Structure 1
Amino acid sequence: MPPIKRAPTLTPSQLRHVLAVTQATSRHPERDCLAILLTHCAGLRCTETARLEVRDILVQGSGKLRDEVLLRSATTKNCRSRVIFLTNPKLRDALEVYLSYRLRNRLGCVLSAPEWRGLMPFTKLLLTHRGGGFELVKKRRILPDGRKAEYWAADALEARFRELYRAAGIKTSSHAGRRSFASALLKKGVSLEQVAILLGHQDIYASDYDVIFLL
């Protein structure tokens, strides 16, 4: 079996550096900082991040940020719904900054939806410079048992993650966020089983090795 290439885990100081560089150099710092924090603070995959919608993170009526988000099965890698948490203060601040940016620039807004802060609830949370969601590409992979499985990949957003990390002097992918998220939880004493659930794995021996590398 060929060696498994794994993204590195980032220390808190490295994450702060990446965010500082992104803030200083990105043409869309509000969106890009939020994308990075969604992976580091909520354990989202790149494609899950791309598929988040406004209605997923806001409470209808009040327009408040949710503390817990139920990821719909249609948006996850293994087609199983799971709960993520938006309780990290830095993540919540980034969400507020980006939502305010969207409102100021009238991105995906409609006057008839005050219960969603004036945002269109079914629009993607993260928008490209053209005002739409990041494109998804259908791909195939070979499962451990030899079967072929189709899946959607947000290649454009993944490329953006790599650009942001590269600008900060770190050669890695969006997966660094999930690995850093898992590592931080384990250091706090969260059980391996609980971490696996938060990452959306069926068990601790999941095929994409988010958790098993920490054993």
Structure 2
Amino acid sequence: MSKEGKAKVLTDAEFERLMKITAVEAHAARNTAILMCLFGLGLRVHECSSLRLGDVTDSDGEIRQQFQIKIANSKTNRNREVFLSNPRVRRAIKSYIDHRRATEGPDLHPNAFLFRSQKGSRFTGNTMQQLAKRLFIKSGLPDSTSSHSGRRTFATRLINNGVGLKNLSCLMGHATVNQSAEYADTNPLILERAVRKIL
């Protein structure tokens, strides 16, 4: 995996190509949901592989509006709010859970791991990382693309949409704003737009 902070940020076209390839590969519903959690929620692979059904669904089995990454699964040893407000992310997670309900039965236990391998075992951060890398290679993405590209792409898109570093730090689960600042690559379009509006 590329060193943290150095993984490639995907362009819109590259991300859409990745999703199209994933959609026709084996285990498409599961793998699409995993990629949406990495790129659409900015989760680390360890956080993603640790998710349980009850984290993302309520007592009625509906997709939650938000959930917490618990201290035990957090790199920074602090709880973090994750917002499931993106319709595309919600659809992907719901589609995968619906697929599991259709194949395993409607009463999935909320404590069951959300993502499971085809053998029925849970993913580890490492095995999820390997899965993501295989999909990146199949999509013709550069070697610098890694599971951390999800977090970098997530952060970059938030910054490009005007999210400030303090809010970005909260969404990324960083201990300090300085950590989030490392994701703020200079974007000439944003700089040009900002200068245009100064006076």
Q: TM-score, normalised by structure 2?
A: 0.86
After TM superposition, the structure 1 = structure 2 runs for residues 58-73 of structure 1, keeping only pairs within 5 Å, are 58-60=57-59, 62-73=60-71
Amino acid at match of 1:214: A
Which consecutive unaligned segments of at least 5 residues does structure 2 have?
A: 186-199
With over 3 angstroms needed to count, the CA separation of the structure-2 counterparts of 1:4 and 1:15, relative to structure 1, is closer
- Kindly, what percent of the aligned residue pairs are identical? 27
TM superposition outliers: structure 1 runs of 4+ over 4 Å:
none
State the aligned residue count. 181
2:136 is matched with which residue?
A: 165
C-alpha separation in 2, matches of 1:97 and 1:205: 37
C-alpha separation in 2, matches of 1:4 and 1:48: 15
SS at match of 1:214: coil
Residue by residue over 1:96-144, the C-alpha shift from the partner in whole angstroms, topping out at 9 and shown as x without a partner, is 11011101110xx5xxxxxxx5111111101111112113xxxxxxxxx
Greater RCO structure (CA 8 Å; 6+ sep): 2
Of 81, 84, 87, which residue of structure 2 is paired with 1:83? Answer: 81
1:20 is matched with which residue?
A: 20
Q: How far did residue 155 of structure 1 move? A: 0.8
CA contact (8 A) 1:204 1:212 kept: no
Q: How far did residue 30 of structure 1 move? A: 0.6
> Which is strand-richer, 1 or 2?
1
CA contact (8 A) 2:42 2:172 kept: yes
Q: TM-score, normalised by structure 1?
A: 0.80
Indicate yes or no: 2:1 matched with 1:31.
no
1:197 is matched with which residue?
A: 170
1:127 is matched with which residue?
A: 116
Q: How far did residue 73 of structure 1 move? A: 1.0
- RMSD (Å) for aligned C-alpha atoms: 1.6
Which consecutive unaligned segments of at least 5 residues does structure 1 have?
A: 110-116, 136-153
CA contact (8 A) 2:37 2:43 kept: yes
Residue by residue over 1:44-78, the C-alpha shift from the partner in whole angstroms, topping out at 9 and shown as x without a partner, is 00110000000100111x22110111111111112
